[in-house]
Chain A
């Protein structure tokens, strides 16, 4: 038993040392508004639940020692198996904790719903920076529609300015995740997912794909730079200097599978490229999904009754 305690002691020290050595635990040291709220939520929920879990862990060991058969326990109650008082508490305490957590979860789910702009005084000052992200095999294509530029595997944003990302994927499902900034969201083919993030600190942050997408998945990481407004403008002008054009034809080239792609810049962007990727009509002569669906909806009674397509609907693109 003694050697066992020693092993346990050593392992505790080891684990603690490891914990302390890693100062760069991204989720616990966030740099963005959303991630900070998430960090707080994680810590609060952890502490709240530890209030139940630690006593249970202690009780298992304590009971095993205290009521060990060798102790000749005189309080032995072999037929005692019900107590309304205890059962009230053993249903009641978890219900209370879960109620608190449920309220927290509901509130923050609403507050940080990724598709909604962040309700934040500073963020509201400027228009959000739009970035359209396309997960390719195996690289990220980031389009800045307001600037008419695009990059491979690199994002620059001004610190303190809200970023409105739109995510889609060319083929396999990926997920866009910058752990320091918070909220992972799937980048799905045929879908347009919206994500709002805000970085509050300058820095270079690791971005990854958080959904396995095949052979080159491990290389689907990118760099997110949060920089000052000046540095951002400087970077934009640098991208403008690129000779590369991104139109439907070059996109089809880009679509081909590749691994470990270096950062690349494009300065001329086909305006409706992102729309075409989501609707799977990049190739010449292919019909867009939206058009096909509208066509299908118009030809059925179901479509007449519940078509989501409103002719008056303004295009978002």
Chain B
């Protein structure tokens, strides 16, 4: 009836009973959740929440929900990071040093990696794609609005499932890529790896269907005249990233399915006995894992290619070079996976091939850096927060690239492999590259979504905390790596390592300050929203000035239909062209606009898949059957009897909406 809950070895509630840290965290989270629900009930927001957010198929609202999910997960993942840094600063000596026992510490580094990649970076990416992509290509929505909603709710289910493991059962103690045989039943008999497997399966399904959606949107829904070589660079990177997702996520899904077969059905794909081979998993998972980092970094390059020209008031240098560089990376990213295990004894030929292929990626990446530099050259640079983040990204990312090339040299990698040097390297590129750029994008496009900018002073303070904190947190790790410290150490015996761990901890706290300032920025916006009773008034369409792409041609926030009239594109940087040519904005004579209807099917499918995942983790088979049939039924019901006619946004309503914006512009004297 209750599956593994009745099995004492699964330790369903042992963490809550024996680990005060876990208990208080869970209590706090539950209290906050209850408080949030109480507030929503008290103010009577349920109806509006259901109509405007939960069932919405509007890409802009789904985008905002993705970003909110990502920021919450950022806080969760960062809390893990902080705990590890504090622990390692204390963990000189034996297992009892520090405050985390191995059992707990090992869960934390696993959760940190999984959450940051799959439930922080990916949702943040999809949030930005969702909000910006259709606006940039002059479309009214994505190609499949329902899939978009479904994708969000399944991602949400995956994120919730991984967080449930905090209180009920435990999480994997296997590292973020869960190498077998440690992740097999022989190494991890309890629920941890099952939580890992099913939450990633959910995330994988959601990511794949969202990628289908974005690829279709970019290919089919560009405004008339927008040829591929007139596509903004951010859209190009989005296209390539989503094509990559379509190519790699099936590999992950299958690898996970095989491991699920081992754990649930007694198969022997990656076990030591019965003819299994753990090394095969390592190949599969890196065939997924390496291109995955390009999925994350390419859109970061896209964001820089939008932000740097805006704040340099200049065209992007070398657009064609940029696009070719992106495409070269698309191809090469599939030819480098084995550089993650030069130490497997692959032999001279294999190691040399993957070493050189990896180095070659530095060429197109370097080209991009030069593109941004020459975009700044002879421009008029304004150091607004998004530009600061971009400059911080260029400055930091070249360093991360440098250590990356050092790691790609096979014999050098034989000294760096799995050391803290490696940890420092990938944080160098992921924080210095991905996070800095995504935050640049978030701040840059924020006024588009809400009509107001995030507080500038707090933004600059946040940047400097992140920037300085990063160097403090990760340069000691480079040195520790050179001293012979490996990753994932619950404790260490070399006293000379400790000072470096302490400096790294200080760095982590400086970053925490940066996150605090970011949170304050958002609290200010929430306050602004409350003052305006949840309706953000229409404001300036082009708040940064000198923007170049179509999303800035519509009001901020944009109307539900995005474009009253679909623009005709003749050049790259379409909006810049419209501004310089003084193309007048159409203010009357609109026609009605067809809009997709809301649907609750995505939400129910998400909730049911959460139940499905949970039941699978705990072996509650009747619930598995029930929820699986439920998910399939919801999709079938939606497909055949759902409301697919949509509705029309009438001429009068379009006119009224556009009039409000016209009035705002006229009041501004334009």
| Identity of the chain A residue whose Cβ is nearest the Cβ of B471 in the assembled complex | A11
Candidates B314, B374, B381; contact of A68 at CB < 8 Å: B381
Interface string of A93-126 (1 = CB under 8 A from B): 1110010011011101111111100000000000
B196 at the interface (CB under 8 A from A): no
Question: CA–CA, A206 to B313, complex, Å?
Answer: 56
A264 at the interface (CB under 8 A from B): no
B398 touches A189 (CB 8 A): no
B484 touches A27 (CB 8 A): yes
- CB-CB contacts below 8 Å: B289-328 with A: 312-321
Residues of chain B contacted by A57 (CB below 8 angstroms): 395, 398-399
A178 to chain B, nearest CB (A): 8
Query: A98-B360, A101-B405, A184-B414 given as contacts; is B273 within 8 A of A214 (CB)?
Result: no
Question: CA–CA, A76 to B487, complex, Å?
Answer: 49
Residues of chain A contacted by B186 (CB below 8 angstroms): 171
Candidates B106, B179, B347, B395; contact of A115 at CB < 8 Å: B347
Residues of chain A contacted by B313 (CB below 8 angstroms): 69, 76, 78
A106 touches B94 (CB 8 A): no
A63 at the interface (CB under 8 A from B): yes
A21 touches B499 (CB 8 A): yes
A110 touches B348 (CB 8 A): yes
- CB-CB contacts below 8 Å: B455-500 with A: 464, 468, 471-472, 475-476, 479, 481-484, 486-494, 496, 499-500
B312 to chain A, nearest CB (A): 7
| Identity of the chain A residue whose Cβ is nearest the Cβ of B369 in the assembled complex | A56
| Identity of the chain A residue whose Cβ is nearest the Cβ of B391 in the assembled complex | A60
Give the contact stretch, choosing among A139-147, A217-225, A232-240, A297-305: A217-225
Question: CA–CA, A173 to B418, complex, Å?
Answer: 13
Residues of chain A contacted by B343 (CB below 8 angstroms): 175, 184-186, 210
A41 touches B479 (CB 8 A): no
| Identity of the chain B residue whose Cβ is nearest the Cβ of A205 in the assembled complex | B484
A59 at the interface (CB under 8 A from B): yes
Q: How many chain-A residues does the 8 Å CB contact rule pick out?
A: 104
Question: CA–CA, A79 to B571, complex, Å?
Answer: 13
- CB-CB contacts below 8 Å: A1-52 with B: 4, 7-8, 11, 14-15, 18-19, 21-22, 24-28, 35, 37-39, 41-42, 45-46, 49-50, 52
Question: CA–CA, A42 to B475, complex, Å?
Answer: 17
A-B pairs under 8 A by CB, number: 306
Question: CA–CA, A190 to B351, complex, Å?
Answer: 21
B411 touches A25 (CB 8 A): no
B352 at the interface (CB under 8 A from A): yes
A208 touches B363 (CB 8 A): no
Question: CA–CA, A208 to B486, complex, Å?
Answer: 8
B484 touches A206 (CB 8 A): yes
Residues of chain A contacted by B182 (CB below 8 angstroms): 172-173, 212-214
A177 at the interface (CB under 8 A from B): yes
A242 to chain B, nearest CB (A): 25
A81 at the interface (CB under 8 A from B): yes
Candidates B316, B352, B408, B414; contact of A38 at CB < 8 Å: B414
B95 touches A218 (CB 8 A): yes
A294 at the interface (CB under 8 A from B): no
Interface string of B207-242 (1 = CB under 8 A from A): 000000000000000000000000000000000000
Candidates A15, A183, A260; contact of B94 at CB < 8 Å: A260
B187 at the interface (CB under 8 A from A): yes
Give the contact stretch, choosing among A83-91, A149-157, A244-252, A306-314: A83-91
Residues of chain B contacted by A26 (CB below 8 angstroms): 482-484
Interface string of A47-80 (1 = CB under 8 A from B): 0011011001101110110011100010111111
Candidates B378, B419, B472; contact of A210 at CB < 8 Å: B419
B604 at the interface (CB under 8 A from A): no
A308 to chain B, nearest CB (A): 15
| Identity of the chain B residue whose Cβ is nearest the Cβ of A217 in the assembled complex | B488
| Identity of the chain A residue whose Cβ is nearest the Cβ of B481 in the assembled complex | A27
| Identity of the chain B residue whose Cβ is nearest the Cβ of A172 in the assembled complex | B182
A91 touches B464 (CB 8 A): no
A90 touches B493 (CB 8 A): no
B344 at the interface (CB under 8 A from A): yes
Question: CA–CA, A38 to B419, complex, Å?
Answer: 15
Candidates A113, A183, A280; contact of B348 at CB < 8 Å: A113
B433 at the interface (CB under 8 A from A): no
A296 to chain B, nearest CB (A): 8
B277 touches A67 (CB 8 A): no
B196 to chain A, nearest CB (A): 14
A179 at the interface (CB under 8 A from B): yes
B395 touches A105 (CB 8 A): no
A191 touches B484 (CB 8 A): no
Query: A42-B406, A184-B414, A218-B102 given as contacts; is B377 within 8 A of A67 (CB)?
Result: yes
| Identity of the chain B residue whose Cβ is nearest the Cβ of A82 in the assembled complex | B318
23 sample A-B contacts, Cβ–Cβ < 8 Å, listed by A number = A11-B472, A18-B503, A28-B482, A38-B411, A41-B411, A41-B412, A67-B312, A76-B379, A80-B315, A81-B319, A105-B355, A109-B352, A109-B355, A111-B411, A172-B181, A179-B415, A179-B484, A180-B484, A186-B343, A188-B279, A189-B272, A210-B418, A211-B418
What residues make up the interface of A, taking CB atoms closer than 8 Å to B? 4, 7-8, 11, 14-15, 18-19, 21-22, 24-28, 35, 37-39, 41-42, 45-46, 49-50, 52-53, 56-57, 59-61, 63-64, 67-69, 73, 75-83, 86-87, 90-91, 93-95, 98, 101-102, 104-106, 108-115, 171-173, 175, 177, 179-180, 182-186, 188-191, 193-194, 206, 208-219, 221, 259-260, 280, 292
Beyond A56-B369, A183-B411, A214-B106, list 9 extra A-B contacts (CB 8 Å).
A14-B503, A56-B398, A61-B391, A69-B313, A69-B381, A76-B379, A76-B380, A114-B414, A185-B343
